[in-house]
Chains A and B, each alone.
Chain A
Amino acid sequence: MSTPQSPMPQAAPTWQTAPGSAYPSYTSPIPVVRTHLGHALASEWTKIRSVRSTMWTLGVFVLLVLGMGLGAGALVANSSSNVSSLNPLSLGFFGLLFGGICIITLGVLTTSSEYGTGMIRTTMTACPSRGRVLVAKAIVFFLVAFVVTLVTASLVAFAQVAMVHGAPEPSGGEWLKATLGVSLYVALLGLLSLVVGSIVRHSAGAITIMIGAVLAPMVVALFMFSESLAKVRQALLEYSIPNQLSVFYSNSLTSSGPSGWDPLWIALGVTAAAFTGAYLLLEKRDV
């Protein structure tokens, strides 16, 4: 128990003391590797695929998109109404709107669950470059969300076009928007949720904020009866997330407001701004 060491003076340490000089030092046989983003990506991929919440949220997402999309297709196909002016791709809208909630939830959980469990301290100890952790999470999540959405949305789109007879054949641009466009948009919405999760650090809080952001503008607009608020009401409707999502199916609820690929650029701008904020906060705050 006793040591040969004499009581130590409480003097300031000198940084110049070379590592291990005068003291025994341990050298590991494990080769030293300079860590980089690739390592963080591999780690985050293991994390996202090894928890059940990923399977649950994505499973429910696929079920919602397929179920609601095919259900809408079947309803229209069996109805006697005239479909000559209908874009069959637009039948996928409701599935993706509700399915989007699952992607939002997964996005939030990717960051906030680490704060809930305390895992974040382990993560940041293993990778002290906090920005790298956030970037790796963002990339891995975005790719997962995008690929899953693209596959599901494309499946539904093909099925719907095949089911609804008599409707005009969608153009190439319409195809692109209803598959690639919505997938990028939904995945970006998920990425924004991931960023909000990192800022708020609380799963339930961040999910509530994101669902509120999706639904509130539209609900609020519905109750703005006053004439003086007409313009605000219009803007809320036009830029509400459900309406922006419907722009990809060229069946916007309004005639003005965002059109074409605009919603994607808006989402990109908002997400980039939020990401920058989350990055700065992450560097500044204690874990």
Chain B
Amino acid sequence: MIELEGLTKRYGEKLAVNNLTFTVRPGLITGFLGPNGAGKSTTMRMVLGLDHPTRGDVRIDGRHYDRLKDPLKYVGALLDAKAVHGGRTALNHLLCLAQSNGIARSRVHEVLDTVGLTSVARKKTKGFSLGMGQRLGIAAALLGDPRILMFDEPVNGLDPEGIHWIRTLMKSLAAQGRTVFVSSHLMSEMALTADHLVVIGQGRLLADTSMAEFIRQNARSYVRIRTPQREQLLDVLHEAGVTVVESGSGALEVDGDKAELIGELAARHRIVLHELSTQQASLEEAFMQLTAQVVEYHAHTDTLVDTWSRQVPRREWGADWKKGS
């Protein structure tokens, strides 16, 4: 179990991590989600005692990381797969880590086998592909057979086969009762793996819920309408008190599950409809909407609420960030 309490990290003027309080529980995969630069890696480095928090506290089963007597058997972490000396062989890289925690040499061969790198064990790691490097990082994390695993963006740069392998691995690790804490900036990836979700943006906690709850709360549905009698329909909907937003491609969009209502209104007023469809916003969109809120609050608070929620997902990520804080 990893417990963060009011964890804060400031780099000069910038608050990289702002008062984070949440708990990562055993037996589940906890997805740690946020756009690039949200403070995920900084938070993970603080969990591992690499960076000192400006304020607040983070503990592993009640203890600070640097008080762990057998750190690799407690926490296995993949922070940056490239954080190896390229001139060292995979075997020696893992061996020096194993020795630092008194782990038997046989375990090095075991984990090399687990990640499928046995055939290149005696090759220098600088010749490794992105996927092989990632596998080596995972081998290092598994070395001590730890009860807590932390992966920072583990699927970055992996091919579909590698992504599938990591997903399966994480699920089996969690099923064994281990704590699995995995960061990502891809909601779609998290939706497939995580049981619990912690979302941060600009270093602040935005959500801490189960995956199912997040989907229920955040997946927005709306109705898309196309009609040649645009003005007439707008008038009718306005009279009925339905808020309409124009989407980029000339279609109209109405929030919520109102397809029946709109269809009946159109029929009653003899308006021709070319399209009337209920759309389910993707989780990716829900996530962007969530993180965009933090951003937008700082940027232009006067913007109409129901126009920005529609526009934001189509905008380039982080386009407003620099203006934001």
Residue ranges of A at the interface with B (Cβ–Cβ < 8 Å)? 1-3, 5-8, 10-13, 15-20, 23-30, 32-35, 39-40, 42-44, 46-47, 50-53, 113-114, 117-129, 284, 286-287
Which residues of A sit under 8 angstroms from B99, Cβ to Cβ? 39, 42-43, 46
Which residues of A sit under 8 angstroms from B140, Cβ to Cβ? 122
In the bound assembly, the distance between CA atoms of A3 and B77 in angstroms comes to 25
B195 at the interface (CB under 8 A from A): yes
B92 at the interface (CB under 8 A from A): yes
- Contact of A125 with B73 in the complex, beta carbons under 8 Å: no
B224 at the interface (CB under 8 A from A): no
- Which among A7, A23, A39, A53 is the interface contact of B1 at CB below 8 angstroms? A23
Which residues of A sit under 8 angstroms from B87, Cβ to Cβ? 51-53
- Which among A1, A13, A24, A286 is the interface contact of B50 at CB below 8 angstroms? A286
- Contact of A125 with B50 in the complex, beta carbons under 8 Å: yes
- Inter-chain pairs besides A2-B211, A10-B205, A30-B73, 8 sampled, C-beta below 8 Å: A3-B211, A10-B22, A13-B22, A24-B177, A43-B97, A121-B79, A284-B52, A286-B50
Q: How far is the CB of B147 from chain A (nearest CB, A)?
A: 5
- Contact of A125 with B21 in the complex, beta carbons under 8 Å: no
B263 at the interface (CB under 8 A from A): no
Which residues of B sit under 8 angstroms from A125, Cβ to Cβ? 48-50, 71-72, 75, 77, 79
- Contact of B59 with A47 in the complex, beta carbons under 8 Å: no
Q: How far is the CB of B278 from chain A (nearest CB, A)?
A: 22
- Which among B70, B107, B192, B210 is the interface contact of A35 at CB below 8 angstroms? B70
Which residues of A sit under 8 angstroms from B112, Cβ to Cβ? none
Which residues of B sit under 8 angstroms from A123, Cβ to Cβ? 100
In the bound assembly, the distance between CA atoms of A5 and B30 in angstroms comes to 12
Q: Which residue of chain B lies nearest to A53 when distances are taken between CB atoms in the complex?
A: B87
- Contact of B45 with A286 in the complex, beta carbons under 8 Å: yes
For chain B, the count of residues having a C-beta within 8 Å of the partner chain is 71
- Contact of B84 with A50 in the complex, beta carbons under 8 Å: no
1/0 per residue, CB under 8 A from A, across B125-142: the answer is 000000000000000100
Residue ranges of B at the interface with A (Cβ–Cβ < 8 Å)? 1, 3-6, 21-23, 25-28, 45, 48-52, 59, 61-62, 65-66, 68-73, 75, 77, 79-80, 82-89, 92, 95-97, 99-104, 107, 140, 144-147, 176-178, 191-192, 195-196, 205, 208-213
In the bound assembly, the distance between CA atoms of A65 and B286 in angstroms comes to 68
- Which among B61, B65, B147, B212 is the interface contact of A27 at CB below 8 angstroms? B147
Which residues of B sit under 8 angstroms from A6, Cβ to Cβ? 210, 213
- Which among B50, B95, B191 is the interface contact of A124 at CB below 8 angstroms? B50
Q: How far is the CB of B169 from chain A (nearest CB, A)?
A: 14
- Contact of B28 with A29 in the complex, beta carbons under 8 Å: no
Q: How far is the CB of B324 from chain A (nearest CB, A)?
A: 23
Which residues of B sit under 8 angstroms from A53, Cβ to Cβ? 87
- Contact of B21 with A12 in the complex, beta carbons under 8 Å: yes
- Contact of A28 with B27 in the complex, beta carbons under 8 Å: no
- Contact of B61 with A19 in the complex, beta carbons under 8 Å: yes
Q: How far is the CB of B207 from chain A (nearest CB, A)?
A: 9
Q: How far is the CB of B60 from chain A (nearest CB, A)?
A: 9
Which residues of B sit under 8 angstroms from A26, Cβ to Cβ? 26, 147, 176-178
- Contact of B21 with A10 in the complex, beta carbons under 8 Å: yes
- Contact of A287 with B21 in the complex, beta carbons under 8 Å: no
